[in-house]
Amino acid sequence: MRHLIDITNIKTRRVPGIGNLLGLMLLWAIVTGLFSCEDKLEVPVTMGSPIDISVSGSGVVLTQKSAAATAVKLSWTTGTNKGTGASISYILQIGKKGDNFAQPVVINLGKGLYAKAFTNSELNGILLDQFGVAPDIKVQLEARIIAVVSSADVEPDTSKVLDVEVTPYKPVSTTLYMIGDATPKGWDNTAATPLTADETDPVTFIFEGKLTAGELKFITTLGTWIPSYQKGTDNSHLFFRTDFSEPDDKFVISETGIYKISMNLVDLTISFTKLDQTPYNELWIVGEATPNGWNIDAPNQMIQDSSDPFVFTYNEILKTGEFKIPTSTGNWGTDFYMPLTDHPDISVASVQLVKGGSPDYKWNITEAGPYKIRLDLRSKTIAIRKFTPYTKLWMVGDATPAGWNITSPSEMVVDPSNPFVFTYEGALTAGEFKIPTATGDWGGDFFMPVENHQDLSITKMKFVKGGSPDNKWQITTAGNYKITIDQFYETILIEKQ
């Protein structure tokens, strides 16, 4: 039974000293009495509406230049759980128009998400890889959203079908190599020099290093001559060569030196910048702290960094005593790199070049042990640091059992008699690897080859802070391997068993 009372006609009588208090109490009793009746007041429940979908961005022509930018954004309403209070999960389906979602791309979005944005690169990959659409061909897509209620009493709800028109692009190569008699590897297209993709703009490739007088061009795949990037209308533009009948024009390096090359494969532009020349390509270290002592005829040689010729390193077990850095051998009257004062604290970074070796300042090692020395001729600074070995090292990459899992890479085994030496023995597949010094962080420090994909017979490796440049070793033949590294001397031995 429904009780209907017009509470606007209920009048209260003012009582001196009490006012409207009793009247308000009477009104409250009447109202609460209504809710205590067996027939309760009906309160409507908001059930929600069927799920609906909308799109921002259709008729889009995708471009690699805008690879990271949003191309299409799909949005949808919450849908309804039919008043059950159950949660709702969402499934997005995308298919080619006319296929009736026979083989759709299915994206499980979970709960609480009401939009999905696709970048140019992401949507382009779906079109080319999932649907086999040819580049530069306009295609009609269909999209719909399915709301799945976590209650067996409620059937899934499917939105209307939304049409989206998109035109994909042909992506440029993700690898690029330099070839020619001006380059370090010559005309051998199976061992061409790799360029490094820019981390913030992957269609831009960079090389920095020594080029000799001669010619060069660029290939996308080791062992193949085309497709290639050749000299275009001038030295600032590229021509993409896809057929042997097309011109085979090459860039010419007229003078040997250190160069930086930057090329954009979308804009088809290239720049060559000749960098400052390092004053020396060979340096040594001499003094009683070093293994060869004060032997100026045969001092210990420092190592020039292949990626930056201004940087020289020296890793060694040093004794207590002095040392300085000569620019040539066999002559005490040569020029030396020295500290600004005699026997400064080894934490002092400043360095000077002293002509003729006078004044005769030296660094002094007061505590014997393993040291890593890094001299930068560009900034005239030196870092002299006692080395503490890493207690754990790993291998990560698709050549290793753990793959590219940086959280749980394949652990190497330390030599119980030498904390500098680690080994790995086991199966490796064809692929790449590098050696992290910690887990869970791609921005951490790594041991890497001196050059990307360097020959496995080369025993030199380098320590790289922050993981850049991102060089890797490449295993071309699967099998069982023994890999031995010395983290102090930065050497590696890769042996197929």
pLDDT digits (tens, 9 = 90+) for 95-138: 999 999 999 999 999 999 999 999 999 999 999 999 999 999 99
Q: What is residue 47's predicted lDDT score, i.e. its pLDDT?
A: 60
Its CATH class, for the domain covering 284-386, is mainly beta
Which segment, 3-7, 16-20, 127-131, is predicted with the most confidence on average?
A: 127-131
Classify each residue of 53-83 as buried b or exposed e, where b means 16 or more C-beta atoms within 10 Å of its C-beta.
beeebeebebbbeebeeebbebebbebbbbe
DSSP string, 214-270: EEEEEESSTT---SEEEE-SSTTBEEEE-STTS----EEE-S-EEEEEEEETTTTEE
pTM of the entire structure?
Answer: 0.53
pLDDT tens readout for residues 402-447: 999 999 999 999 999 999 999 999 999 999 999 999 999 998 999 9
Query: CATH for 53-167?
Result: 2.60.40.10
* Average model confidence (pLDDT) across the chain: 89
Radius of gyration over alpha carbons of the chain, in Å? 36
Its CATH class, for the domain covering 394-496, is mainly beta
Identity of the residue numbered 67 = A
pLDDT tens readout for residues 262-305: 999 999 999 999 988 888 999 999 999 999 999 999 999 999 98
479 confidence band (pLDDT: 50, 70, 90): very high
| 8 A C-beta contact, residue 73 and residue 117 | yes
- The full set of domain ranges for the chain reads 1-43, 53-167, 177-274, 284-386, 394-496
Q: What percent of the chain has pLDDT over 90?
A: 77
Is the link from the previous residue into 401 a cis peptide, with omega within 30 of 0?
A: no
Q: What is residue 429's predicted lDDT score, i.e. its pLDDT?
A: 97
- Architecture of the domain whose range is 177-274: Sandwich (2.60)
Tell me if 53-167 shares its fold with 177-274.
Answer: yes
CB atoms within 10 A of CB 221: 15
The residue that leads in pLDDT, 461 or 66, is 461
Report the distance separating Cα 203 and Cα 265, nearest Å.
Answer: 6
Per DSSP, the three-state class of 350 is strand
